Amino acid sequence: MGRNIGLAVGRGTGPELADVFEQTAHHIGGLYSRSVTITRSPRIYHSYSSLLAEGDTRRMRRGTEEDADHYERFCRDQADRGTSAIFRTAINAQSLYLVRRRLRAVKVDLIAGASGELLLIRDAAQGFYTGENSHSPGVVTRTMTFSREITDQVISFALRRARDEWPDDDVDEIVMAYKFHLLDGAFTEWVADAAARHGVDIALRQPDTVNRDLIERGPSRRTLIIGGNEWADAMHAVLLDRFAAERQESRFTENIHLHPEVSGLVEFQTVHGSADDLAGRDRVNPTATVRAAAAIMERHAHCTGAIRAMELALESVRTLGVHTPDLGGDHSTTAMTAALLDVLEPHAAPPPGSTPRLHIVPGGPRADP
Ligand SMILES: NC(=O)c1ccc[n+]([C@@H]2O[C@H](COP(=O)([O-])OP(=O)(O)OC[C@H]3O[C@@H](n4cnc5c(N)ncnc54)[C@H](O)[C@@H]3O)[C@@H](O)[C@H]2O)c1
Ligand SMILES: CC(C)[C@H](C(=O)O)[C@@H](O)C(=O)O
C-alpha cells in the first residue's frame, strides 16, 4: 500500500473534479512507480447554493455546523493516521472558516511574475471570516476575535515559510495588511513586539494603503505580505491577475494548519469555487485540479518532477487547442483531462545535489516526509 492522500468532496462540480483528481494522481503515480491510496471523506459537503436549497436560516445553520464538524473530524483523523496532504474540492465558505478557525489555518500562495515574487500568507484563522452569528428579527450580528497568540503564530509561520521559499533570507519587504485602525492600538503593539522578537522590520499598513502602494510601484523583487483575510480574500484573484497573469480557474493554493494537533497536514484546494452553474455538465476547467494533483504527488508522494511534467503537458494541450469553454474552447472536462494524461510524461528528477523542497510545519522546517 502506498502513501495515503485524503480527498474531501463538495457539491456543485466537486464530484467531477474529485474524479479528475483521483485519475490524475493515480496516473502520475503509475508514471513514477509510486502508488498512493486515496481516502475519500464519506460526506459530500455543501456549497452555498445547495445549503440555500435546504430551506430556512435555522436549517442552513445546522447544515453548516454539521459540515464543519464532519470535515474537522476528517482532517483530524487523517492527521492522526499520518496523512500529510488532503485535496479538497470547493465547499461552502462558512463551514470551511469554522474549521479554519478551529485548526488555525493560513493560506499560502507564491505569486511569481515578471516583476518579482510575492509570497501571500492569508490569515484565515481569525477575524471576520471566522466569526459566529446570532440573529434577531431583521438583524444578523457577527462577533469575531483577533488575538495576540494567533497573530504571533501567523507571523512566525510566515517568516519560516519565506525562509523556505527564499533560503538566502533575502526579502525586500515584509508587509502586513490588516484593518488595524479598528483595534485600539492592540494589534500595532503585538506586531511591533513580534517584529522585535524576530529581528525583522514589518510594515503594518491599512489595506487601502497596501493597495495604493501596489498600484503605485508594484511589489518589490521579493515581497512577503501577511494579509488579514478581510483584505487578502478579496485581493487574491486580483493579485494573481495583476502580478502573475493567472486566473483562479488555473490555480491551486495550500492551507497549512497551525494547530499542533494537526501539525503537518496540508490541505490543497483550487482557488476557484464549486461552480454550481456547471455541475454535471462536464464543462468545468480541470487545470487547477490537475496542477494540485501534480503538486501533491511531487511533494507528498515522492514523484519528483511531476509539477514540471504537468506544466509541459498543459503547454502541449494548449498548443493542440484543447480547451474547456471558459478558455474559449469546446472540449469537455473529460476530454481535456484525457488529453493531458495522454501527453503527460515523467519529467527528469532535478540534478543530484540540488536542494530538496522543504515544507514548513509549526515548530520549524522539515524535509518532505
Ligand atoms: N475552493 C474553495 O473552497 C472555494 C473557493 C471559492 C468559493 N467557494 C464556494 O463555492 C461556492 C460558489 O462560489 P462562487 O459562485 O462565488 O464562485 P465560483 O468560483 O464557484 O464561480 C464563479 C464563476 O466562475 C466560474 N468558474 C469557477 N470555476 C470554474 C472552472 N474550474 N471552470 C470554469 N468556470 C469556472 C463559475 O462557473 C462561475 O461562473 C460557494 O459555496 C463558495 O463559498 C469555495
Ligand atoms: C469562499 C471560500 C471557501 C474560498 C476558499 O477558501 O477557497 C475563498 O474565497 C477564501 O476565502 O479563501
Ligand nearest to the CA of residue 281, numbered in listed order: 1
Residues of CATH 3.40.718.10 domain(s) within the chain?
114-244
pTM of the predicted model as reported, rounded to 2 decimal places: 0.91
> Ligand 2 atom 2: the closest Cα is on which residue?
93
Please report, in tens digits, the pLDDT of each residue of the chain (369 residues total).
569 999 999 999 999 999 999 999 999 999 999 999 999 999 999 999 999 998 889 999 999 999 999 999 999 999 999 999 999 999 999 999 999 999 999 999 999 988 889 999 999 999 999 999 999 999 999 999 999 999 999 999 999 999 999 999 789 999 999 999 999 999 999 999 999 999 999 999 999 999 999 999 888 899 999 999 999 999 998 999 988 888 888 999 999 999 999 988 999 999 999 999 999 999 999 999 999 999 999 999 999 999 999 999 999 999 999 999 999 999 999 999 999 999 999 876 655 444 434 333 322 333 333
> Ligand 1 atom 13: the closest Cα is on which residue?
273
Cα(116) to centroid(ligand 2), Å? 25
Of 304, 300, 299, 314, nearest to 344 (Cα)?
314
Lookup: cell for 287:
487545470
Ligand nearest to the CA of residue 230, numbered in listed order: 2
Distance of CA 338 to the CA centre of its chain: 25
269 CA closest ligand 2 atom index: 7
CB atoms within 10 A of CB 97: 22
Distances (CA, A) of 149 to 31, 230, 258, 262: 44, 19, 11, 17
Contact assessment for residue 307 and residue 39, using Cβ atoms and an 8 Å cutoff: no
Q: Is the CB of 274 under 6 A from ligand 2?
A: no
> 92: alpha, beta or left, given left = phi > 0 and alpha = psi -120 to 50?
beta
- Hey, which of 274, 331, 336, 337 would you mutate to test ligand 1's pocket, going by the most ligand atoms within 8 Å of its Cβ? 274
> 42: alpha, beta or left, given left = phi > 0 and alpha = psi -120 to 50?
alpha
Q: Is the CB of 307 under 6 A from ligand 2?
A: no
**284-293 burial: b if 16+ Cβ within 10 Å, else e:** bbbbbbbbbb
Cα(193) to centroid(ligand 1), Å? 39
DSSP code of residue 366: E
CA distance 339 to 320: 9
DSSP code of residue 180: G
Please state the ipTM of this predicted complex.
0.94
Cα(105) to centroid(ligand 1), Å? 20
pLDDT at 54: 85
CB atoms within 10 A of CB 236: 21
Cα(273) to centroid(ligand 1), Å? 3
Q: Taking the alpha carbons of 66, 157, 350, 285 in that order, is the dihedral positive or negative?
A: positive
DSSP code of residue 286: -
Ligand nearest to the CA of residue 64, numbered in listed order: 1
Cα(104) to centroid(ligand 2), Å? 15
Q: Say which CATH class 114-244 falls into.
A: alpha beta
Cα(117) to centroid(ligand 2), Å? 22
Amino acid identity at 266 = V
CA distance 184 to 192: 14
CA distance 144 to 217: 34
Amino acid identity at 167 = P
pLDDT at 349: 60
Q: Taking the alpha carbons of 102, 230, 232, 184 in that order, is the dihedral positive or negative?
A: negative
